[in-house]
Structure 1
Amino acid sequence: MPGYANDLTLATRLADAADAITTARFRALDLTFERKPDRTPVTDADTAVEDALRGVLSAERPGDVVAGEERGGTAGAEGRAWVIDPIDGTKNFLRGVPVWATLIALVEDGTPVVGMISAPLLGRRWWAASGDGAFSRDSAGERRLSVSGVSSLEDAYLSTTDLNSWTQYHSRERYLALTEACWENRGLGDFWHYCLVAEGALDVAAEAIVNPWDVAAAQVLVTEAGGRFSDLKGEARFDGGNALATNGHLHDAALAILQG
């Protein structure tokens, strides 16, 4: 893997460190949380993970920028930046639902080139590096990922995170039109539906609102698995404020419906 072998090794170490903290705090009786200005929750586990990862990166990659959900920072158009979501799916984490993950991405000159997604309570981990493909590991072992070959929306499996978000941030009617065009739809949400697109289990995942740390790792995972990732304007970016991931065959058709 030219160029990013050492970075992927470091991302693996970061994921291991995060998993040690999150698994210890999951369902802990003394878990504390606050609400941020946007009303989303942040737990003591979120901040502990981000602080721990920042500490490792400060020592291992002192010249790189770090941008995280809880402590701030921005991945610019030039240079290297590690983009971190310490717990993606914090609402699940708070409620005792085991579908949450730590997301770690390396962004180089504005493009995600390494992605690591670790969901310890699912026993799953997904990763990718630019030019080297996408992979996952679970109890059955490690495998290389490839998106589905579904070529018609009427045969497609679709997911979003929160239907209500389409009303506020884009168009509920446009999303419902997409559900009607597809064979089946679910609300699997957050990191998981992007991983399932990369695996070929889902064909389309769409969100009306995302933050950069929500999808930087997902972008490189989906694209390295052979799919397409863009914002709802069709631009291949993780910082456009919304997201569409597909197997590639369905991307233009899904965009056309969502754009109306």
Structure 2
Amino acid sequence: MSRDLTCALRLADTADAITRSRFRAGDLAVTRKPDRTPVTDADTAVEDAIRAVLAEEHPGDVVAGEERGGEVGAGRTWVLDPIDGTKNFLRGVPAWATLIALVVDGAPVVGVVSAPALGKRWWAARGAGAWVSDGGQERRIGVSGVGELGDAYLSTTHLGTWVEHHSRERYLALVDACWENRAFGDFWQHCLVAEGAIDLAAEPIVNPWDVAAVQVVVEEAGGRFTDLGGAARFDGGNALSSNGLLHDAALEVLRG
């Protein structure tokens, strides 16, 4: 295991200790950011704790996080989402995770997704495959072999976002082309793609910290991760992950 991946996993342990203690806490403090999205005291506490560790262990690295800001540039940048799925977290729904990615010269090379309330953690590093820990058992994961949209299982985060971003009609056309659909949402759907449990996950609006970590996981699991224009990037503002076999067909439907 690489030094950077080892560090990312320890950062996830730090995050889990905080999020576990604040999940379903009666005194959880919730505020709204200017874009009306919620933020809890756990979000800021996690990011601050991770930044403190990185400042000590990797003082030359840049950090970009959802709550405290920062930009991804040349060199090494740690990209953090302290709690992906904050709306779930504050309502007591267990589908949320801390996302930690190391991006080197614009390309994610390490990704960790830790979802302690689900009892799962996914991780990957370039060239080392994708892995999951589930109930204490670690195993390597890989995408499905489904080759036709008519047999595919599709997920998104929130149907309403397709109205404002991209096209709800094009997403519903993809729904109609697929066998089954759900809205597992956020990180979870991309990790399910990496595990081979579902075949496609599409999002019309994302931030870099939402998907930098999952890009590594999906690609190391043998899948494909792009924006809706087909570029393999985490900072394109939208995202499609797949088992690879269905990717071009799904992009074609979404483009109309």
State how far apart, in whole Å, the 2-side matches of 1:129 and 1:71 are: 25
Q: Does residue 27 of structure 2 align to residue 20 of structure 1?
A: no
Structural mapping, 1:70-149, within 5 Å: 70-76=67-73, 78-139=74-135, 141-149=137-145
**Counterpart in 2 of 1:11?**
8
Task: Give 1:140 shift.
Answer: 5.8
- How big is each residue's C-alpha offset from its partner over 1:63-88, in whole Å with a ceiling of 9 and x where there is no partner? 11000000000111x20000000000
User: In the alignment, which of 211, 234, 240 is matched to residue 238 of structure 1?
Assistant: 234
The aligned runs of 1:161-200 (5 Å cut-off) are 161-200=157-196
Paired letter, 2:154: L
Q: Secondary structure at the match of 2:12?
A: helix
Alignment gaps of 5+ in structure 2: none
Counterpart-to-counterpart distance in 2, 1:251 and 1:38 = 31
Q: Distance in 1 between matches of 2:99 and 2:84?
A: 7
TM-score (norm 2): 0.99
Matches of 1:83 and 1:133, distance apart in 2: 20
Cα root mean square deviation, aligned: 0.6
- In structure 2, C-alpha distance between the alignment counterparts of 1:29 and 1:140, rounded to whole Å: 29
Find the aligned partners of 1:140 and 1:27 in 2 and give their Cα distance. Answer: 23
CA-CA distance at 1:23 after TM superposition: 0.4
Instruction: Count the aligned residue pairs.
Output: 256
Q: Deviations over 1:78-127 (max 9, x none)?
A: 20000000000000000000110000000001000000000001000000
| Deviations, residues 40-76 of structure 1 (Å, cap 9, x unaligned) | 0000000000000000000000111000000000111
Q: Give the CA deviation at 1:33.
A: 1.0
Q: Give the letter aligned to residue 12 of structure 2.
A: A
Identity of aligned residues (%): 73
- Post-superposition shift, 1:12? 0.8
